[in-house]
Every structure is written in structure tokens, then in C-alpha cells.
Structure 1
């Protein structure tokens, strides 16, 4: 992809959206029964790879990773949000290249909030943190490949000063991916005994139970978990951890234990996660863990949002912006076997990342990540792939 056209498009969209957002804010329509506000984000990424000779090499590339526009507001006591990702138009300019994200209505009650529609499920801290706020360009391999993401359903969340409890029932279909059939329910609870500015401690537990209808048969997609270990553009470095595509109904249990600490300019985040698959004739399991440590060189801190049990927007305290450096180790392993038999698949993936973030403004950021990944076939005792990558991002949201 050409760099100059994408950069020009990014700047034009940002200026247009910023003007529209200012105009909407100037109207002061918050006291009306019906309101609307424009929002969005643009993430423009690049990646350069150092591939080894095992497997197909990943080509250096650029992409508009996210080009989201949304309208949100209230409608006679109900809240609503309609959000789409237009990044697919860069490859093929047609209607089905636009992907629906949040499309829901909400209602606030004294005991909590009800959400109905399509929304991101309450599962894992890393996935709940907005892509605008995470210290790395990519979420953990477990969050990016196993978490339920955007699904159609209904959810309830109760939030107090030091805890949140949320749950949902949802379909395994989404507005755009209707071929996946099934139903599920999930829950997430968080506790933050300390949640002051510059001093936050987070503990959490996420659970989900999913029932897939005949994956791999009658038009239903197969159930395959294959993370990208060296960034979103590293498709050729993917390895299959489990694959259920024989057309048998498959049950999946997912969990994640969450821990995070923000103390002054230091930030820690870690999760232990897993998923168990069973189609009646074979079973699979995924086990994963990651640990992240970050440091605000310029002295800011990672803000904690008690209403959602996650970390939020960094606000620079200096005119020249905030600088963050971070490191992460991320590992995931998948096994699969027929009932009563030994494993026929045992594959692990690991990733070490070092990142630098420059928050020029609260809504304007530049990111640079260095990644080294390795895939191993544990049964054969061989390395399947080893890839290094340098990835970067220009990011603006409004």
C-alpha cells in the first residue's frame, strides 16, 4: 500500500471530523430528549519484518487499521450508539466492506445499566481496554484470538466505587459474521480496593460459556484459533492452536484472571487465561499468560475507570506530551486430542515486545513497537517460525 495517499487521507478525515465534532458540541443540545454526537478514530499502521526461512515470509506493509465513525446520544431516556469501521474500503470499495462495531441501546437504572444490541462482551481486562488507550498496538494473543469481541446480545452491569459486576447472554453471530451459529453467556467481576489517581490496584475474573452449532458444516465457519504473533500484518506467521471443523456441536469454556497495578508513573498488567473445547469426540485446550510493565518517563500515570473496571485515556501534563515505555512477554499454547488418545497437536507461541508511546495530546498518539515471536511444535520438538518486526502507528480519535 502506498504511504502518501493514506497519510493524506488520514489528515483530511481528522480535520473534517474535528470540525464536525466542534459544531455538534457548540449546539449545546444535552437538555433535549433526542441528541446526537459524532465520534471516531483512525489508526494508520506500518510493519517491517525480519523473517527467517521457515514458512512464508511476511511482506512489509502499511494499512489503515481502523477508520471508525460513530453517532451516539440519547433518545427519550435511552442511550444509543451506532459505530462502523470503514477501513475495509481501502481494499474494496463496496457496502459489505464496512464492518459494524457497537450498535446498541442502553438504559440506566439505579441498580445498573442495561445494554441491548451488538457490543463488545465483558471478558478480559486486555480486551476491555480501548484500542485508543492500550500501551501496545496489539492486545495479548489470547485477547485478540479467543475473547468473544462484538456479539449480538443483552448485558447488565452494576458499578460501584470499588467494584463492577457484569454479565451478558449473546449469540455467536454478529451483524457481519452471521455464518457462526450458536449461543453463549458470560460474566466479569472486578475489584479495585485502591482506585485513586496514581494509585490503583485491579483484580478481576472473566468467565464465558459458548455453544457452537456444527462448526465446519452447513455453511457454519470452522472454529479455529490461530493468533498473529508479530502484529496484525503477520498473517504468514500464524499457527493453529486448536481446530474444530468436523461439523459437531462444540462447547467452549473460557476464563481469565486479571491483575493490574498503577502506582505513580509505573504500570503493571497481567492475566492468566484459558479455554477448553469439547465436541464429544475430541477435546482441545488453550492456556495463556502475559505480563506487561510500563513507565511514564514524563511522570504521568495510567488512569483507572471505576465504572468499567479498566484503564482509560492518558492525559499529558506537559505541552510537549507524555512519553511511555513498556515491555511485555506473552505466551499461548494449544493442545488437541481425540477422546482416550494422546495429543495429535501441541503448538506454542511466544512473543516479546518493547514499545514506546508519545501522547502528543490526549487524543493524538504515535506508537512504535519492536516484536520478536517464535512458534514451536512441541510434539516434534521443532521451531516452526521465528519472526521479528518493527511496527508503528499514527492515532487520532475524537
Structure 2
């Protein structure tokens, strides 16, 4: 009960503080603005007998607070996730997200610190704006997420080009050792008031130092197919934990289309793993189609090369329905030998979103997922889930 009270207190503080702190505290060379987001999720599962059962549960998925502004020509942002306080009220359960400084130049923007890397359209779209509660299985398990590094992005009305060098460590995940380089380019050949066509390519090369040895975390790709609370339905696609340096090449081809109330998003992604004695590969694809019943269109942020916040056209809010099919497959083998692992996961989802305000949303997703061992020709797990979210940001 104490953890629930702590979480409730954080939520209440977030909601009551928002109107008071949303404005800049100074208008000059030094400015500061508070922001945050609250995502409260629930999940109800229908598990079959072939895998461990997922218990029905609720969680404060995200409770982020941030401070951003300008400091003598430099931009800055400090952001933390306080959702871990619902488990134990301790400073160790506060997770750092964006912690960086930026500088604008005529040719582009420099970012230094911890930030989300430029990789995949699905991961670059904010969790406040995504059509489904969960990102694709590829984005949620393979994308680099928040890492320490330096990045540059050049943005023009019809394209962006960005790249970064980064550590595989983050402020909180310091046991992951290694270094990496990544890049992302986007192009909008069609963009007007009625439609936006987005094309993109993401690439990354990562070098993991002795995963699984000398205190370094092992490297394992194991998505949650039926939502964030479906830990018991995870399956391992590839695993490298023998202490050998491992190289990983990642890529994603991006497609997005917004035309009137229609929204389409799809990506093909992959990752190749090599530790000198064994190899692994992950291949993935997803496609989603959404439709605004109330006539809105999905906005586009040309500065970041991603789709953005929905603004309802009427006081009663905006309603959107969506379908998604998502599949991912992993194979692994010793050099010169046949595969000893070949596992696939697939998911079909139906979603309904009610954007009551531009910063207030209710989400409901129905998920049907299945894991298969392709070598044995058997189904490992089949899980259905009804998930929902209350979401507020400021």
C-alpha cells in the first residue's frame, strides 16, 4: 500500500503543478520551463496453457518530469522518470531520460549528453503521440534508446540528415559496455495541407565489449509480444553472453503517409550479430493503418522527421481507430554450423484512441500474439491481452 500511496502522491503533484509551472520563469539569456507526462496503464490477459501465465496488472508506466530552457545561447533539458517509485520510494528508482545541452547553428543543431538516438520512425515518435500503446517489437527491443553521446542534425522543410557517436552505456545502464555510431535520413517528397509522405533510412553500428563477462551485461533480444506487462510471454531471439566482443549492424527502412484522416506507417528492420565464433540475425516488419473518425489528420514535425501531436477539431475530442500487424524473427548459429535457434513472434492489434484534448488521451488496445520455435515446429506461447492507458502531458 505504501508504494501505491507514493505513486498517487507523485501523480497528484504532477497534475496540480502543471498549470503553475508551464510558463517560462525568465525571459532573457536564461530561461526555464517545466514539463512532464503521466501514463497509467492496465492489462488483462487471456493466456493459453503452453507458456507461463501473465497476471492482470496495472502500473504507472511513465511519470516523467523535465526542466528545459536556454542558458546564454545553449539549450538544455533535464528529464527523469519517477515511475519506479511505485515499487520502492528510493532515489535508485528514478531513471534519467534526456539529459543534454544543444547549440543551434545555421547548418544544423549539435546535441551533447544523453538523448534518444536517431533510429527508426517508430522509436522517434514520442510515446505521447504513437498510435498504439506499445512501439513495434523491433523498435522496443533493438533500437538504441537513450545513450550518452554527441549528435548533429540538419533539418530542412523536405528532409533531415542526422548522425551520432554514442556509448552503449547510459546514466543508469552503466554495465553495458561499448561504443557505436548511427545515422538517420528522412525525406518528404509530398507535403501539403492534405497529405504528408515520409520516407526514411536508419543505420547503426555497435561494438559491445565482452558481453556477459567482467561485470558487463549480456546481449539478449527478447521482446514482449503482448504489451509491457507481458514479461512471461517473452522469447529469446538471439543471445550473446559468452564474454566475446560482439559487433552489431542495425538498419530500418521507414514509410509513413498521412492523407486526410488516413494514416499509414510501416518499417522493415534488421540486425546482424557477430562475436567471431557465432552469428545471429533479427528480421522484422510491421504495418499499421489508422483512421480518424472525426476528420483530423496526423501532423508532421519536419525538424525531427517524425509525426507529432494530434489536435482535436472539436470540443468532444478526436477519435481514431487503428490496425497493426507486427512480426519479428531471430536466428542464431555457430560459424559453419546449422541454426541452433530459430524463433519467431507475431502480433495483431486493434486500437481505439480518444484524444479528449491535445495533451489528454485515453487508449484501448486488443492484442493477439504468438511465439513459435521454428526448429521444433511448435507454438511456444499464445497470449491475448486487453490493454488501456490514461495519458496526460504538459
Aligned partner of 1:168 in structure 2 is 164
Q: Which structure 2 residues correspond to residues 58-73 of structure 1 after superposition, within 5 A?
A: 58-73=54-69
Change (3 A) 1:310 1:284: same
Change (3 A) 1:3 1:105: closer
1:215 maps to 2:215: no
2:335 paired residue among 334, 339, 350: 339
What secondary structure is seen at the aligned counterpart in 2 of 1:151?
strand
State the 1:195 CA deviation: 2.2
Q: Is the 8 A contact 2:114 2:148 kept in 1?
A: yes
1:47 maps to 2:43: yes
State the 1:54 CA deviation: 1.1
Change (3 A) 1:3 1:152: closer
Report the Cα distance in structure 2 between the residues aligned to 1:49 and 1:385, rounded to whole angstroms. 13
Change (3 A) 1:240 1:2: farther
State the 1:13 CA deviation: 3.1
State the 1:7 CA deviation: 8.9
State the 1:15 CA deviation: 3.0
Aligned partner of 2:90 in structure 1 is 94
Q: Which structure 2 residues correspond to residues 142-153 of structure 1 after superposition, within 5 A?
A: 142-153=138-149
Q: Is the 8 A contact 2:40 2:61 kept in 1?
A: yes
Aligned residues: 394
Aligned partner of 1:20 in structure 2 is 20
Q: Which structure 2 residues correspond to residues 116-195 of structure 1 after superposition, within 5 A?
A: 116-195=112-191
Q: Which structure 2 residues correspond to residues 143-292 of structure 1 after superposition, within 5 A?
A: 143-292=139-288
Change (3 A) 1:75 1:7: closer
Aligned partner of 2:351 in structure 1 is 355
1:388 paired residue among 373, 384, 389: 384
Q: Is the 8 A contact 1:45 1:64 kept in 2?
A: yes
Q: Is the 8 A contact 1:197 1:301 kept in 2?
A: no
Q: Is the 8 A contact 1:14 1:396 kept in 2?
A: no
Report the Cα distance in structure 2 between the residues aligned to 1:11 and 1:101, rounded to whole angstroms. 18
State the 1:6 CA deviation: 8.5
Change (3 A) 1:80 1:227: same
TM-score w.r.t. the length of structure 1 is 0.97
Q: Is the 8 A contact 1:187 1:208 kept in 2?
A: yes
What secondary structure is seen at the aligned counterpart in 2 of 1:203?
strand
What secondary structure is seen at the aligned counterpart in 1 of 2:176?
coil
What secondary structure is seen at the aligned counterpart in 2 of 1:256?
strand
1:84 maps to 2:67: no
Q: Is the 8 A contact 2:11 2:63 kept in 1?
A: no
Deviation readout 1:309-357 (Å, 9 max, x if unpaired): 0000000000000000000000000000000000000000000000000
Q: Is the 8 A contact 2:50 2:381 kept in 1?
A: yes
Q: Which structure 2 residues correspond to residues 28-39 of structure 1 after superposition, within 5 A?
A: 29-30=26-27, 32-39=28-35
Q: Is the 8 A contact 1:370 1:388 kept in 2?
A: yes
Aligned partner of 1:298 in structure 2 is 294
Q: Is the 8 A contact 2:253 2:267 kept in 1?
A: yes
Q: Is the 8 A contact 2:331 2:343 kept in 1?
A: yes
Q: Is the 8 A contact 1:17 1:39 kept in 2?
A: no
> How well do the aligned residues superpose, as a CA RMSD in angstroms?
1.5
Q: Is the 8 A contact 1:2 1:62 kept in 2?
A: no
Q: Which moved more, 1:243-252 or 1:91-100?
A: 91-100
Aligned partner of 1:324 in structure 2 is 320
State the 1:11 CA deviation: 5.7
Q: Is the 8 A contact 1:170 1:185 kept in 2?
A: yes
What secondary structure is seen at the aligned counterpart in 2 of 1:286?
strand
State the 1:92 CA deviation: 1.1
Q: Is the 8 A contact 2:6 2:86 kept in 1?
A: no
1:376 maps to 2:361: no
Change (3 A) 1:378 1:198: same
Q: Is the 8 A contact 2:222 2:234 kept in 1?
A: yes
